[in-house]
Structure formats: C-alpha cells, structure tokens
Amino acid sequence: MRIVLSGGGTGGHIYPAVAVARQLELEDSSAEFLYIGGTRGLESKLVPQENLPFKAIDITGFRRKLSLDNVKTVMRFLKGVKSSKQMLREFKPDVVIGTGGYVCGPVVYAASRLGIPTMIHEQNAIPGLTNRFLSRYADTVAVSFEGTESAFGGAKNVIYTGNPRATTVSVANPQRGYASLGIPEGSTVVLVVGGSRGAKAINEAMIEMAADVGKGKGVHYVYVTGEPYFEDTRKQLRQKLGSLPSWLHVLPYIHNMPEVLACTSLIVNRAGASFLAEITALGIPSVLIPSPNVTNNHQEANARQLEREGAAAVLLEKDLNGSTLMEAIRKITGAEEVRRKMSEASLRLGKRDSAAIVTAELRRLAAKHS
C-alpha cells in the first residue's frame, strides 16, 4: 500500500502521522510513504529524522483579522494545491491522511479532487479551521475524543479512533526513562513541562515554588524549561536555592519523552491533544494548565475532557502561581488513593489501540477505491 501523510506546524500534528506510519510498517513491511509538509513548519526537521520521505510546499495559515496577508495565503493555497496534485500524480498513493495544520489543506483537497481516498484526523476537542474545511471533502473524519463527532455534522463518515500517538508511547520502557534522568528506579517522578518550547507562566510558577518542592521527601522533580528559557530559569533557581539539589532536575528539552513519561508518577503540563494522548496511554495523573493563547481556547476544552473523567486537575493560567501549583501537586502526590484513582481514570481514556484503528480505516478506504 502507498500512503501519503500530511500534518504540520507543531509536534501535535506531526507525531500522530508518524505513529500511523510506524503502525502500517508493522502491519505491512512493503508499505511505501510520502510525507508532504510545509517549508516553514517543524515537520521539515522532524519527519526526515524519522526516515520518512519528505516533500514540502509553501503554505501559511489564515489570520483571524482582515489582512493583506490573507490574500497571499489564498495564492499560496492555490499554488499548494497545484504542487500537491503533481506530487500525488507522481507518487500514486492508495490513500491520503491529514493530521491537522494548515499544510493539510491543499494536500487533502488536491487528493479529493483527484479521486484519491482521503482521511483526516482531529486531535483536539474543538476542531481546527483546516479540518473543518476539509471535512466537506474527506471520505472519513477521525476524532480523538469520544462525543466530539457532532462537531463534524456535515461530514460523510465520522469515527472515534482516539489519538494514534497513544499507541507509540504505550510500549515505552520506564527503566530507560529512569536511567536517562539519572534517577533511581521506582522513585516518584513529577514531570513539569510547558510544551516543546516551554511556557513562561509555568517557568515562573516553578521558580516561585522551588523552595517548597524539597519538602516532599523521596520525590524527584524533572523540570523541562524549553530551550528559550533554560539558561535564565536555571540561573534564577540557583539564585533562589543556592545550588540545584539532587531531587531537582532542570532540562531544556527531553528527546526520549515516551520513556520519561513511562517512569512519571504525575505530570504538570499544557493540554495539547497529542500530549494528552500520551499520558492517558500510560495512565499518568495530571495537573493541566491549558494555554490561553490558542485558537478557540481548545486546550481548555481538551483539559476539561480529562477533568470530567477524574483523570486530571485543571489549573487555569490566570490562577497560576507558585502556591497554587504546589497545592495542586501535593493534593495528588500526598494522597496515594487519589493518585491511584486518577491513574485508573487516565488509563481508561487511553486504552484504545488508536493507531491500529486508524490504519484499519485507511485499508478500508484504499480497498474500496481499488
């Protein structure tokens, strides 16, 4: 089977596509792939590292306000459709899947115009603009959160699959996670991370509460600052604490995140959909701090889904400071029964073999077309 993958802008759109490719490789060693991404997105760096053939088109997203840039975006979209059609004709895929981000727009649209079966996957509880547009043309729309199918009322076929990224992390090795962090196996690990590039508000709260963190004996805090904030955050922590204690691990970025997640007891993080798929696949309780700077406030909608199921506590950024964050963490780490119930609830949400469900639908679409 020949498959075109498209998704970009952020890791949240890229990693689900990569997870689908990895699952298809397991199922069919002869599967062939082409990833079509954007010249400006993170996918131009990440996808080649995954050893997937990559081609790029130049595309940007629409601005919410009237702007001359939107005229340029329309022109780039039309040019992107033309380029995508050429790539698709050359590659001759059996099926095309888009996992979000504006680069999917011209790729999936072009495939539908050429009569190639198409599928889009929506990671968030509130659909993005591109997927709303593409749902009119795609043969199948897949959603990550059960009960959000109604957001695509006009689509041909909407199915609940979960997020394919969950399948990737569910087999991660916790021993490797402990070893990479230099933490003894079996230790309680609280992972604090503000996304791939970090989050200033979470950094500031962590610095504020640093003096109180060590009072929880036997707990290791792993704090991922994001590359832009690393040096300044570490400097402020050293000024506050004198030196960094053995239970506080400050890192700019984690490259083996699935393995680190596998050894994590509690996570404090934003509420990006793919990251939530990862933590629920492993049954990790969470304190979620949704980013307020996203379209349609979709991260809070994502976080509330977990909160309703008892898998997470939600702390809005407007209420975030060192004291409120420490209190939220201690309510979970200080009560084993609470942590256990949250872990069970988290695991219930992530138990689906999402990647296999998605690939089964791709096979169905390809077979129907042939």
Close Cβ partners of 40 (under 8 Å, ≥ 6 residues apart): 58, 60
User: What gap in Å lies between CA 244 and CA 182, rounded to an integer?
Assistant: 14
The helix (run of H) or strand (run of E) holding residue 358 is helix 354-369
- Token digits of residue 127: 């659909």
Closest CA to 120 of 196, 25, 17: 17
- How many CA within 13 A on the CB side of residue 116? 25
Phi (first) and psi of residue 51, to 5 degrees:
60, 40
CA angle 17, 20, 26 (to 5 degrees): 145
- Token digits of residue 231: 């040096």
Distances (CA, A) of 238 to 4, 125, 198, 231, 242: 48, 39, 19, 11, 5
Q: Which residues are annotated as a binding site?
A: 10-12, 124, 196, 254, 299
Q: Which residues are annotated as a binding site for UDP-N-acetyl-alpha-D-glucosamine?
A: 10-12, 124, 196, 254, 299
Helix (H, G, I), strand (E, B) or coil at 170: coil
What is the side-by-side order of every strand in the sheet holding 312-314?
Answer: 248-251, 219-224, 188-193, 266-269, 286-288, 312-314
Burial class (CB in 10 A: 0-12, 13-18, 19+), 358: buried
Which one-letter amino acid corresponds to residue 190?
V
- Cα Rg of the chain (Å, integer): 21
Q: Where are the beta strands (DSSP E) in 127-243?
A: 140-143, 158-160, 188-193, 219-224
User: What gap in Å lies between CA 327 and CA 66, rounded to an integer?
Assistant: 43
Which one-letter amino acid corresponds to residue 213?
V
Q: DSSP letter at 292?
A: S
